Chains A and B, each alone.
Chain A
Amino acid sequence: MTLLEIRDLKVSYGEREVVHGVNLSVGAGCRTALVGESGSGKSVTARAVLQLDVAASLSGSVSLKGQELVGAKASELRSVRGSRVGLVFQDPLTSLNPVMTIGWQIMQPLVIRGVKKKEARERGIALLARLGVKDASRRFDDYPHQFSGGMRQRVVIAIAVIAEPELLIADEPTTALDVRVQAQVLDLLHEVAVERGMAVLLITHDLGVVAGFADDVVVMRHGRIVETAPVAQLFADPQHPYTKGLLGAVPRLDRDPAQRLVSVEEIEAVAG
């Protein structure tokens, strides 16, 4: 069953169109990776779902289980945000409010939906513990600066999933973390998504991240989608020259070390 259906989505900033008619769908409970270089329009596409950027103007269709979001009223969008679609950003340092306790921020999505403080607190602590924060009940009233980067990103994930959304949009959730922590956070995201039957739209420029995580991969370039395929198929038999180029740019242990990686210029030349 399709959860998120994006049809012919165009996004412009003023006169400049940056996403030119994208089609994309995410099935319920599926993990889809949206891949591309910086500036390919992948973040803009994903963020168009929640319409948090007031400067962007949208056309086309974004529907969540049949509910059309493009042109929806502010109140409709607000009821979608958090409770049906959660969001995780790249940098956990700037994603958390520095003057509020992490507990307050985790409880917020529940509190604004009328859940009692006491219950929200219990659920928040349980979730934080599930996400691997040790001593969750004691650390609940700490401030963001008292946490490390990886722990902060767990807090951000807790905020995004506490109201049990059907879809989580994770915009480069591990890019700002160091490599060891990256894998932990991705695994955790994977586990939580499976446990809750939550679909994930993972935005990344890192194909290495995609392989173990996603069911489907969507490759974007210059504001257009160039290839959509199940993850195994994409890695085994990439169709589009650009995808081949991208895969060639990933460093691998089993490749002849004397051979140079494919450069962006070479990808550009092949893909046209």
Chain B
Amino acid sequence: MNVARYVARRLLLSGVVFFGLVVLAFVLVTVLPGDPARAAAGRNATAAQVAEARERLGLDDPVLVQFWHYLTNVLQGDLGNSVFTHRAVLADIADVLPSSLELVAAAMLINIVIGVPLGVLAAYRRGRTLDVMARIVALLGATMPVFWLGLLLQLVLSSRLGLFPLYGQLGFGERVPDITGVITIDALLSGDPALFSSALAHLILPALTLAASFIAVIARTVRSSMITSLDADYVTLARATGAGELRVVVRHALRNALVPMSTILGMQLGWMLGVTVLVESTFSRQGIGAYMVDAVLQNDLYAVIGSILVIGVVFIVTNLVVDLVQLWINPRLRDGLAPARPAAPEAVR
């Protein structure tokens, strides 16, 4: 069965990538400055206490043995303990991750809702004013540093115009029940419309900031693959059967452009999670990005590496999902005729 083989191959590849990620994380633990034994024993520990911690952590073992321990620990969900919160890193991340996923989901929504139609229109009106305008807007979004754009939006839209809250995830004194960890959803579940709209208002600016640089990329990707589709014979023939323009553009051209588009969107989801590092700090939001920044500033080695691992796993999972989605939208793939992943068009950074 072609489909089963394809899925098995993708799963296996995901496993290989995950293994590589763990190797990388382990190398970072070993080579980065900072002594884990000292960190574990505490700042004021005596030399004897540090030696005891070293013994306990197995740091005197050969590197391969250490790696084996590290790997089995990671597979059991033990990413080590944070020296700052004195909790398991995974538990810390589980607390903050939903907030980041909320931010990424909102940014992705903005990315798709603005970027895809922008790319379609630019392709349809290529070379015309609208195409040029779209290119300029996209370029501005792509070249502006994220933190700077965040500050600018805060200054203009929040501070001057008062349209959005300046920072945070809820207004002063507002609280939501801790159900899913995703504040907008928890606010919705609490049944208080005012609370929900407050949570939503707090989400918009950071999501917009996060999405800005990605919109340009997806718009360019959609534009270039739409140009290819719109010039194809099957589009001309669809017109020749009397199909209307909307049908031609959406059902024929865009439907074909979905394949490269989904590849890029999948990658973008992973990148976005990385960029939350900048956005969450700027907007004082909770999340894995903010957690990582704190961990770096406090020399909290296991927390930093744990965050990297988790972001990496999210990346692997989204790519796996994209591979499966492609199976659905690209019939040629099901018969093993098309390349497993179409080469990404030029607009990819």
Enumerate chain A interface residues (CB-CB to B < 8 A): 50, 52, 78-83, 86-87, 89, 91, 94-101, 108-109, 112-113, 143, 145-146, 156, 159-160, 163
The docked-state distance in angstroms from the alpha carbon of A96 to that of B241 is 12
Cβ contacts B235-252/A at 8 Å (1 or 0 each): 011111111100100011
Which of chain A's residues have a CB closer than 8 A to the CB of B258? Answer: 99
Chain A proximity of B156: nearest CB distance (Å): 41
Decide if A86 touches B240 in the complex (CB within 8 Å): yes
Which secondary structure characterizes the binding site on chain B? helix
Which of chain A's residues have a CB closer than 8 A to the CB of B239? Answer: 52, 81
Decide if B335 touches A108 in the complex (CB within 8 Å): no
The docked-state distance in angstroms from the alpha carbon of A86 to that of B239 is 11
Residues of B313-349 at the interface with A, using a CB-CB cut-off of 8 Å, are: 329-332, 335, 337
Residues of B51-98 at the interface with A, using a CB-CB cut-off of 8 Å, are: none
Q: List the A residue with the shortest CB-CB distance to B243.
A: A112
Which of chain B's residues have a CB closer than 8 A to the CB of A109? Answer: 241-243
Decide if A112 touches B244 in the complex (CB within 8 Å): yes
Contact A163/B242 with A95-B237, A98-B332, A145-B332 known, Cβ cut-off 8 Å: yes
Total number of B residues with any Cβ neighbor in A under 8 Å: 25
Decide if B240 touches A100 in the complex (CB within 8 Å): no
Enumerate chain B interface residues (CB-CB to A < 8 A): 232-234, 236-244, 247, 251-252, 255-256, 258-259, 329-332, 335, 337
Q: List the B residue with the shortest CB-CB distance to A93.
A: B233
Chain A proximity of B327: nearest CB distance (Å): 12
Between A and B, 12 residue pairs with Cβ closer than 8 Å are: A52-B240, A78-B244, A86-B240, A86-B241, A89-B236, A97-B256, A99-B255, A99-B256, A145-B335, A145-B337, A146-B335, A163-B242
Contact A82/B256 with A94-B234, A143-B331 known, Cβ cut-off 8 Å: no
Decide if B242 touches A113 in the complex (CB within 8 Å): yes
Q: Which of A89, A146, A159 contacts B241 (CB 8 A)?
A: A159
Which of chain A's residues have a CB closer than 8 A to the CB of B330? Answer: 99
Decide if B331 touches A98 in the complex (CB within 8 Å): yes
